[in-house]
Structure 1
Amino acid sequence: MAQPVPTLGELDFAGDDHVVPFQVEGLDVRGRAVQLGPMLDTILERHDYPEAVARLLAEAIVLTVLLGTSLKFEGKLILQTKGDGPVDLLVADFSSPENVRAYARYDAEALEQAIADGRGAPHELLGKGVLAFTIDQGAHTQRYQGIVALDGHTLEEIAGVYFRQSEQIPTRVRLGVAELYDRDGDGKRRHRWRAGGVVAQFLPEAPDRMRQADLPGGDGDEAGHKIAEDDKWMEARTLVETIDTDELTDPNVGTERLLFRLFHEQGVRVYPPQKVLDRCSCSRDKLKAVISGLSADEIEHTATDGHIEATCEFCSTTYRFDVAEVSPA
């Protein structure tokens, strides 16, 4: 016999760094919500990113966590942006069931100039380019990749376009990032990063109810093929759009309380939370295998005083190898 699904209030609060799956039967909506705290703080502080870069990467991490925890198999979901702006690369990947890592690359001089010129909005820092979502199920399988344009919209908006193109499911994504300042146990002022997000999808039993208007075809065609939205999805989407950044990131609100605020009239059900961890997949053996694949000349030019050092861009761990242990036999 199937076990009853707990309603809000029958489970302990998930707390930070746990994704909460939810369902709103009255609106035919399913989704996931999360608040990230210590895990996010560790990732961002490790690299001491400028504020603008940290905010962008935090949004990418939240989005990756929301999508990655929906994987039904052992594998990896990778989000990557490539653009011509000062922040030319964002990478965040989720390895099921719970591991997260992320990295940002930026031009410090160009970033400083852009902000000084009033071009510090997220889409301006990313510039024109592409956002790619890659799903990797491991060896002996083919990767799936969905690509959408970085075209002056936010990551939140671009994620919506991705769902329209790849899954054709009505979807609304909300992302928020905040900096908090408080004092630790010794009374010292402390800075912390927080972020949160919600993804809601319309999944009625009748697939024809999910029909959406066509996306604009370009060349001035902004109308597309108009289709009236389903009333229940319109209500759900409107409710999700009322969320503000404070609600997404406030530790005193919490994920379950936010879901209750949104959907209590329709009856929201929550499922057991899924934890997420700051855990990199790099290892000494993996890096040794990469370096050992270099030619003898390449190893010689890379080495210093008989050693080669390699630092992981994600977790900043540095590995040191003797030339003898990585040189071709």
Structure 2
Amino acid sequence: MNDQSPRLGEFDYAGDDHVLPFQVEALDARGRAVQLGPMLDKIMARHDYPEPVARLLAEAITLTVLIGTSLKFDGKFMVQTQGDGPVDLLVADFTTPDAVRAYARFDEQALAQAVAANRLEPHELLGKGILAFTIDQGEFMQRYQGIVELDGATLEEIAGAYFRQSEQIPTKVRLSVAQLYDRDEDGRPRHQWRAGGVIVQFLPDAPERMRQSDLPGGDAPDDFEPTGVEDDDAWVEAVAMVESIDADELTDPLVGSERLLFRLFHERGVRVFEPAPVLDRCTCSREKIKSVLDNFTSDEIAESTDDGVIAVTCEFCSTEYRFEPEELGQHSAESESHLH
């Protein structure tokens, strides 16, 4: 008897922690969808951030994997926020083909004050600053970085503004984060983090169809009116479909990426491609950290030594690496020169 389990082409349904590329040919739209489960929960459990911080970082991770899995080369894609709010730093990066890592930095006192005052909107937690998108193709290639202002918008809106300004590609992003409460096999309460997202872009064969109204410059007067360029009807329809998504649909494990895409675009026809896995995998190593410490001077090594060792903890995965001063290159070389 043939396997009756649901299949799309020659691969299984994507499930959690797999980014699903898709295309809606009738609307000249392409995109990716994802639901993050165990991978995201491992990152959050490792850091045990307060809930408002964890939600922001989960959104940044989701945005990072949606964009990073589109890379067609070996490299790294990073999303980083820097602001003057209680959560002054978010970092999430994706290293091809599948490694994800992330961490956040926050001021405990400022965060406590924000929670007490119920100032928990993203722009209130991040404050004024920048959001940077960085593409790194390795040491022999120049890094590319696009920067947009943290201007009170959500990460969804800022990402759309980035693609519009830097790539001139009409882009719509939806992100959602949720906490799942259930019980384990022994009946004990269990808490898990989930997140989901969709990114869709308008990529017609005729580039002029991608034109959008001009954005106001930083010195534009209050009564500035953009040039009258109407959005393409196909793009308007695609955006309307994506905007109709309920936040719960993006994170509900019973919905899934394929079912969500079918609900949105079944009348137009949607094609999905092989899903790409994303894993909780840090790229730090003892060798990489040692190569940095090898460039320390003797004075810097002495300042970094505590109880006879130099301890370095990775901010992403919390792994601690310990070194004795004598094993570091610069220090060893200077010591050897004194012997001779």
Interval of TM-score (by shorter of Structure 1 and Structure 2): over 0.9
Is the Cα contact below 8 Å between 2:7 and 2:13 reproduced in 1?
A: no
Query: What's the CA shift for 1:221?
Result: 4.2
Distance 1:110 1:182 in 2: 32
Q: Which aligned pairs between 1:134-283 and structure 2 lie closer than 5 A? A: 134-217=134-217, 218-283=220-285
Is the Cα contact below 8 Å between 1:8 and 1:270 reproduced in 2?
A: no
* SS of 1:130 mapped into structure 2: strand
Distance 1:144 1:55 in 2: 27
Matched AA of 2:154: T
Query: What's the CA shift for 1:302?
Result: 1.5
Residue 317 (structure 1) aligns with: 319
**Which whole-Å deviations, capped at 9, do the CAs of 1:191-218 have from their partners, x for residues lacking one?**
0000000000111111111110111233
Matched AA of 2:188: K
Unaligned 5+ runs, structure 2: 1-5, 334-340
Distance 1:261 1:221 in 2: 40
Residue 338 (structure 2) aligns with: none
Q: Which moved more, 1:312-321 or 1:287-296?
A: 287-296
Distance 2:165 2:320 in 1: 40
Rate the CA distance shift 1:222–1:239 in 2: closer, same or farther, 3 A.
farther
Matched AA of 2:265: F
Query: What's the CA shift for 1:44?
Result: 1.1
How many equivalent residue pairs? Answer: 323
Distance 1:75 1:36 in 2: 22
Residue 88 (structure 1) aligns with: 88
**Which whole-Å deviations, capped at 9, do the CAs of 1:24-70 have from their partners, x for residues lacking one?**
11111100000000000011110100000000000000000000000
Query: What's the CA shift for 1:223?
Result: 2.2
Is the Cα contact below 8 Å between 1:86 and 1:127 reproduced in 2?
A: yes
Query: What's the CA shift for 1:105?
Result: 0.3
Distance 1:22 1:28 in 2: 11
Q: Which runs of 4+ in 1 moved over 6 A?
A: none
Residue 337 (structure 2) aligns with: none
**Which whole-Å deviations, capped at 9, do the CAs of 1:238-288 have from their partners, x for residues lacking one?**
000011110000000001110011001111000000000111110001111
RMSD of aligned alpha carbons: 1.3
Is 1:292 aligned to 2:294, yes or no?
yes
Is the Cα contact below 8 Å between 1:8 and 1:256 reproduced in 2?
A: no
Matched AA of 1:249: T
Distance 1:325 1:221 in 2: 65
Residue 32 (structure 2) aligns with: 32
Distance 1:39 1:289 in 2: 29
Q: Which moved more, 1:235-244 or 1:114-123?
A: 114-123
* SS of 2:104 mapped into structure 1: strand
Distance 1:119 1:179 in 2: 20
Distance 1:205 1:301 in 2: 59
Query: What's the CA shift for 1:128?
Result: 0.3
Matched AA of 2:275: P
Matched AA of 2:171: T
Is the Cα contact below 8 Å between 1:177 and 1:196 reproduced in 2?
A: yes
Rate the CA distance shift 1:8–1:186 in 2: closer, same or farther, 3 A.
closer
* SS of 2:12 mapped into structure 1: coil
Is the Cα contact below 8 Å between 1:8 and 1:268 reproduced in 2?
A: no
- So what's the TM-score if we normalise by structure 1? 0.96
**Which whole-Å deviations, capped at 9, do the CAs of 1:125-163 have from their partners, x for residues lacking one?**
000000000111101111111000000010000001001
Is 1:72 aligned to 2:72, yes or no?
yes
* SS of 2:176 mapped into structure 1: strand
Is the Cα contact below 8 Å between 1:173 and 1:199 reproduced in 2?
A: yes
Matched AA of 1:243: I
Matched AA of 2:319: T
Rate the CA distance shift 1:220–1:125 in 2: closer, same or farther, 3 A.
same
* SS of 1:298 mapped into structure 2: helix
* SS of 1:70 mapped into structure 2: coil
